[in-house]
Structure 1
Amino acid sequence: MTAVEKIFAAHAGKAGTAAGEIVTARIDRILLHDITGALAIDLLAAMGADRVVEPDRVVLVGDHYSPPPDPTAAGLLSLMERFAAEKGIRHLFTTGEGIEHTLLPEQGLLRPGDLVIGTDSHTCTAGAFGAVGTGMGSSDIAAAMALGELWFKVPETIRVTMTGARRRYVTGKDLILQVLGAITADGATYKCLEFQGDTIEGLNLDERMALCNMAVEAGAKTAFVPPDDKTRHWAREKHGDGGMAQAVWSDPDATFQTSLDFDAGAVEPLCARPYAPDNVAPVAATAGVRLNQVYIGNCANGTLTDLRQAAEILAGRRVAKGVRCIVVPATRQIYRDAMREGVLEILAAAGAIIGPSTCGACAGLHMGVLAEDQVAVATTNRNYRGRMGAHSSQVYLANAYVAAASAVAGELIHPAEVTGA
């Protein structure tokens, strides 16, 4: 079996499963945020369910409208707080603790082998930790809270093997952009992308999050990185000696839907041009686009690794005049770690705005939206028309090195053009 087949088998109480099989599976973690999660709360009541069957499996995170920009947004956070109190839900994060997909592993609310569902499409980020995570509709999430289980079709798995040493300034963000450019936005529809190879083994957990986070931009149901010593160290730190008890790996003779091979050593720093995450090109080929805003942050690229990369570029340099550079650590703990290391001081001295942990600008809601015809480079995961603001605005997706270098230059640029290295 593949790893994802094993995880579904374990959660369905079966000895084995096969791709395409329909199973009813127990859920380890149910993740709700303040927009679509609030809808799930209303739907639970509409279903006539008077309780959450396993409150400790539910996690409520206020991150899209945090801090709340208006009374309606504040009301959504208040709804979650009341719901948690009424249903006995302990895992409540509505006071700026962080963005859900980064917060979940940081808080130890995830472990290898888990099955996680959420009201957000980027729940597939959990694959970085050897788990299966998938986004679902609010009605499905409501049903899961009432029942503790849901039905699933076990997805086929595409094996993505990446080998070779990465070039300077190439990160996990570039690797997933390379995949997206190759297979397009529907190339993995309802599949699992399993990432293997020595390049993947060389990524730290932060960069694996960036890799798995954007699997959904290829239509994938989920993503998966086989657990290794890095995963094992993290799991032991969060869960003790039993942290790897549920961990699984694909069998050597597992059946994959297809296999894709990439030479990571040939990958350059990349960007996704408007208006699609699979509209990928080398940064060097798109250089010169003038910018109004640079945004460094989001659920998978507001990590300490990303902030360090940005600081490496911005140290001793200044953000170009007329460019708004916004940096958003993904969690409060990352903010504190970056502050303790002096990373935030470097970023602030360069002229960056340091914001609280929020999805606000990424989702085009608040704290960094774009005006008509404005152009941004962002480390976020989507650049559809109107995604970060006005309908005619444009967003180029790139890694933190590229974003920081572009902030200095005032235009999209390869980091080596700024650093000379």
Structure 2
Amino acid sequence: MSATAFTAQPLPSWRRAVLKVGSSLLAGAPDRPSDNGLDPRYAAELAQFIARARAEGREVVLVSSGAVAAGRGRIQAGGDGLVLRQALAALGQASLVSFWQSLSPAPVAQVLLTHDDLRHRRRYLNARAALRELLRLGALPVINENDTVAVDELKLGDNDNLAAAVASLVDADLLLIATDIGGLYSGHPQRDPAARPIARVSAVTPELLAAASGGAGELGTGGMRTKLEAGAKAAMAGIATALFCGRDAEVVRALGEGKLHGTLIAARRDRARARKQWLRHAPASGSLRIDAGAVAALHARGASLLPGGVVAVEGEFRRGDVIELRPHDDPAAPPLARGLAQYNAAETRRIAGRHSREIETLLGFRYGEEVVHRDDLVLLDTQSTDTHSTDTENAA
């Protein structure tokens, strides 16, 4: 059944998206030999979609499978045991990154993650900061599971769920999952002649997950069930998910025109509103006193807070804790904003009042130029933190 059997529907508006590409779209076919085990016939169109989106000022993070297939392309090895797959993944990682670099005009950055990285507080924040910086630099992050050490992930083939976690990590507006079929059907499209396309899923129910269970492609390890699981997790984070056929060039080109031929899994709540609601009510571990320039910048542009605007640090807090921002010239004034601390209290005291370029000299490292990033900040009397403005030194 053709992927274009799915009637076009509007793709949700987005500024930052995570695109997941599975190994079934990348591995070379027996009749198309490849030096590195990877075939660009489908990936090339996806890479062009990324390039066009970037040219329009959007940001894309790519979650790509294919390391094991690339490893098989480099060495002759029979069998399919877990340890062999770990070795093949290690052999194939460099080829996978080189493959995407050959298709991308932007510099490609390899990022290897495991689910533990996203569950561990400090590692989560480190990954978040690194990906933000890569996007700021104009790079294309290519994320894969660290299959050499992530045994459970390699066994489960869980890049779909990893993509959902990454979408939340980078505050994406949309999760795009390229599949080898058109999307979700009411039955198996190859076995059930009565199967019909399902254009929209309002909620991923246990019944839907049970119906979607089944074998994956020969080279892919994640079937439709894992894609629905990923969509459900993204939906809970306020992120819509689009399932589409990555083998159909017409479908991929339509994405660039804001049209989806596939299945849309709707977000269950507004992402920005849910995050801001949590920031408003989570317990605060400390506070920062900020100068008038920073106060004005926060109110006028919803900007990030840089160390130059910090006058004093109150309390003890760790990196990632919720802190309050208060004007320094009125000790009795209520907090004007809340956000997540990029540096702990001792580190913030050392960089307070200094220029961002001095952070690494003063601390010996730098998580970023912001004390509180605008994506992790909410004003308590306005919603203006949703805007994106030009950086200044006091706040950006």
TM-score by length of structure 1 reads 0.25
Rg larger in structure: 2
TM-score by length of structure 2 reads 0.27
